[in-house]
Structure 1
């Protein structure tokens, strides 16, 4: 368990290095204060995973350093139950001049293990890291991915009660990332608490029970992964709205120079929004422009009941361009083979300029339609989706 109550942290910023000496000798302030965190509170229970997202400079790294004891807060209280281990900036706690094997000892001691524990865990750590003979080479010869492998292997085998993970995992290859994710799930299932910071919103939605959004050092949203990620999307779309109050029921936003009027998902069945897996569906979007616009992109995203992105595409990716006259209405049809597993799904639609909604977001509409895959049309399968498969004997 870990709990933060009204944590605040400020840093002194100097216009030039000599101002530090001037302040020391003249005994008057030559700096200005920067507020990195302001009145931040959170609680993570045993077996729970908290995600933290926010723009660069929002205060995420400062918050993690306080949680792991690297920094002390200026105000507020930090309560922890058990050992807290962090995987923060890549290479923290390592000596690049000595071997990987020697760094297991150095980093293990820093993480609170004793020498006897390190000795009987060393081979397990080496095996998990998959570094092979490189373990006896100096760390300066390692790639960033190899350093990350070693750092994660040591940190997770330190047997913390709370595991704090920053963006370090993003430098690993896909195979090792999946291996780390499996280990993180095992850790959570054993009752460990996890604080996970990432710009990978899909990983956030898959791993986290709840998510906190930081902006300018303040908590502006805290709730379910899907609601918090949707709110974060509003922030990065540079919208002029109050960011200090979280409103999870707000599902659409944008400049509305062109807007989505209606949406539906239809298949062969007479029941609208009820389909069979493998069936061809038509996603219909009715759109109206408030002003004349060129090069408008219309996109869709299908999400499962956990808010995980299943499939998305847009007109730009499909080499199609849209333009509108003032007050013109158009209907766009996406024909999709719904080769996905039975379950309940939501549709998000977006209108924006150029390649992504962060340029000019005209209208972003979360959960504009809902549909259900109620059965399987064709051969059965396991997993999230059915890939085209041929078997020969």
Structure 2
């Protein structure tokens, strides 16, 4: 009799449990979609957190390529200051009337003053918050992050964060201006005891209008910003660390001529040699290129030897970029290339003897670079266009 009573009750419980729902869930329309976060050093040691929030129901309209209207989501910017990032985020939620939603966060920007003081509070918050993704872009701005997020329009984008994210994503495919770095990359460098380099955002003003753009890199030692890499130094850094994918550089020729070449298909080999008990870094770079443009009417490219001669100035340009990056790293006393870890892997016994003094040794380590460029083709024509050449 007891079993006959229990069976219906158990069946009823099994039917009710799946429809109980999640008591702690928020509906999406009750959340504020955060696309960008900026964190600056505030007053009295506090942190100023600025968020750029997408408002899907409101749109800006601009003309499309075919004359039609293209609708884009509008954004609102909210800021709050508190002792911690988490507390400031809570204040912003009260200001905008919605719980902040971070899974769609594209980029986190840190102001220069906070970056130099130390980004430990930012790193701790990113590691602890379960909604934040390590694939989020990480950048430092040469000013305040709040100012960068308040820029109204950049390029073809009506949303600042969308523009910066597109530039960084494009840099993953073509390394020309910016260094694309995600939090995952930053943490990987810290884990491997390599001084991290993250993305750099610049604020400029033209004709009274403020603009933001991604350019170069930001050099850290542990959690502290110690300096910047220019675009040339950034490209040298990418060459040495074998992160360069493709790009275009212009090279001067004897006289007043110039050529532009597309760089693609490179191989980089790095090794350590101990000479007289001291480490020497050797970097071999092999690059395949295409000739994209010639600005020299006197140049002839009828013979293979003519093309071979153009490889030399390209090799010199790449070697110059590498050397510029090495010199900047020495000045900043930051082993951004991971040379110390290279020694540890190849010569563990020697590394044990010098690791405690590596910060002092690194700026004195010679770096020898060998660059070999192979120019594969001249695209659709050989010699430059001139009268009578068609």
Task: Place the TM-score, normalised by the shorter chain, in its bin.
Answer: under 0.3
Q: TM-score, normalised by structure 1?
A: 0.24
Query: Higher relative contact order by CA 8 Å / sep ≥ 6: 1 or 2?
Result: 1
Q: TM-score, normalised by structure 2?
A: 0.24
Quick check: which has more Rg, 1 or 2?
Answer: 2
